[in-house]
């Protein structure tokens, strides 16, 4: 068995124009000061990294490595959640996602998809340049507006949708394979890949591509009422990344999974800081350790109530205490009789 690495911190929710969150040096120094050993970097945030330069300029790569090392942390992975979203966008959502791409592409659905695809390909090379083996992203969505359909979905629609999604992602997956990096899709409502069934449908269409893997985040499964511990038993071979995020689901007589269009504070399903929600992290860390997960335990802070800095400080301690230092021996080794084949046969009554 392997001991999970951590704690690490996803920087997306913390990057800001104010110090110490305004550049990579300051934010990594802050992360190290509150107990984090690694950071996951959102590649869309120019305050933290230039993705194209990270893919093409080794002098720049070495500069970034030096900054992070001096701060006292390392890079766990890069993220292209926003770019991955734009690989597949239904036209109804076109304008809503304009903020995810350069301003000159506003309203240009095809242009945003082409830009996003190039971003992912740069992310593959950049990950390789930094010696990283995993990468976090979203799948995008062509079918989400049909997730609870009325009128009913036309026959064959889902199959056609996953074929198109696979068509867009296969060249990207091949690029990541070229550089030996796993693409880890965060299974998330709003994405066509949001649970085990949808991941399996996609996997079939990309010919079980070895680089198509999972970023495991139990908070999204709590809000879907999905058995997140059973999920690990089923998909552990494909789970290559782990977001440690808490959530709670408290349905009432007025609302349930869909939330009634309420804000986060009023919703039945809410994201919470670590330890404030309902996720069984003891069970999760035990199962991931059981299945030899050797990636990072990365805090993705999202909470409807608590201040992010408090969530980050508490999160580092929480993760450190949950990580299981796996044993190298069996607890009852003291009573072992040793290995003797003849003795074993005698016990079994085998001549």
pLDDT at 93: 97
**Domain count within the chain:** 1
pLDDT at 325: 93
Residues 6+ apart with CB under 8 A from 11: 27, 31, 39, 40, 41, 42, 45, 48
| Whole-angstrom distance, CA of residue 301 vs CA of residue 166 | 30
Q: Are 326 and 1 in contact (CB under 8 A)?
A: yes
Residues 6+ apart with CB under 8 A from 92: 145
pLDDT at 46: 97
pLDDT at 335: 67
Q: Which domain holds residue 268?
A: 5-348
- Tokens 């124009």 correspond to 17
Q: What is the CATH number of the domain that holds 262?
A: 3.20.20.150
- Tokens 């001096």 correspond to 70
Q: Are 301 and 247 in contact (CB under 8 A)?
A: no
Query: pTM of the prediction?
Result: 0.95
pLDDT at 336: 75
User: Can you read off the two tokens belonging to residue 110?
Assistant: 């095809």
Per-10-residue mean pLDDT for the chain, 351 residues long? 96 97 98 98 98 98 98 98 98 97 98 98 98 98 96 97 98 98 98 98 98 98 98 98 98 96 96 98 98 97 97 98 90 74 88 73
pLDDT at 339: 78
Q: Where are the beta strands (DSSP E) in the chain?
A: 5-10, 38-42, 74-80, 134-137, 182-186, 212-216, 239-244, 246-249, 269-272, 296-299
pLDDT at 329: 78
């Amino acid at each position: 068995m392997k001991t999970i690495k951590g704690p690490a911190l996803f920087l997306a929710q913390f990057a800001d124009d104010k110090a110490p969150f305004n550049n990579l040096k300051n934010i990594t120094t802050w992360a190290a000061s509150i107990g984090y050993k690694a950071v996951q970097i959102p590649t869309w945030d120019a305050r933290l990294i230039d993705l194209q330069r990270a893919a093409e300029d080794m002098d720049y790569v070495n500069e970034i490595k030096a900054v992070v090392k001096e701060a006292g942390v390392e890079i766990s992975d890069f993220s292209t959640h926003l770019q991955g979203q734009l690989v597949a966008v239904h036209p109804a959502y076109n304008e809503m996602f304009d903020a995810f791409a350069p301003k000159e592409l506003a309203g240009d659905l095809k242009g945003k998809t082409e830009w996003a695809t190039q971003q992912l390909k740069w992310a593959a090379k950049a990950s390789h340049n930094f010696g990283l083996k995993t990468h976090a992203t979203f799948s995008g969505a062509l079918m989400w507006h049909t997730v609870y359909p009325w009128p009913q979905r036309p026959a064959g629609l889902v199959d056609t949708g996953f074929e198109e999604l696979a068509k867009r992602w296969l060249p990207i997956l091949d690029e990541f394979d070229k550089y030996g990096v796993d693409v880890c899709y965060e299974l998330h409502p709003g994405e066509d890949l949001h649970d085990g069934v949808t991941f399996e449908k996609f996997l079939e269409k990309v010919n079980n591509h070895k680089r198509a893997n999972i970023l495991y985040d139990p908070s999204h499964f709590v809000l879907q009422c999905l058995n997140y511990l059973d999920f690990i038993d089923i998909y552990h071979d494909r789970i290559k990344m782990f977001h440690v995020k808490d959530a709670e689901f408290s349905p009432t007589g007025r609302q349930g999974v869909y939330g009634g269009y309420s804000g986060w504070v009023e919703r039945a399903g809410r994201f919470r800081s670590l330890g404030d929600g309902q996720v069984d992290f003891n069970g999760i860390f035990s199962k991931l350790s059981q299945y030899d997960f050797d990636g990072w335990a990365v805090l993705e802070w999202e909470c409807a109530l608590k201040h992010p800095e408090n969530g980050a400080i508490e999160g580092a301690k929480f993760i450190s205490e949950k990580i299981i230092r796996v044993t190298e021996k069996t607890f009852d080794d003291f009573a072992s009789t040793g290995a003797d084949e003849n003795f074993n046969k005698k016990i079994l009554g085998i001549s």
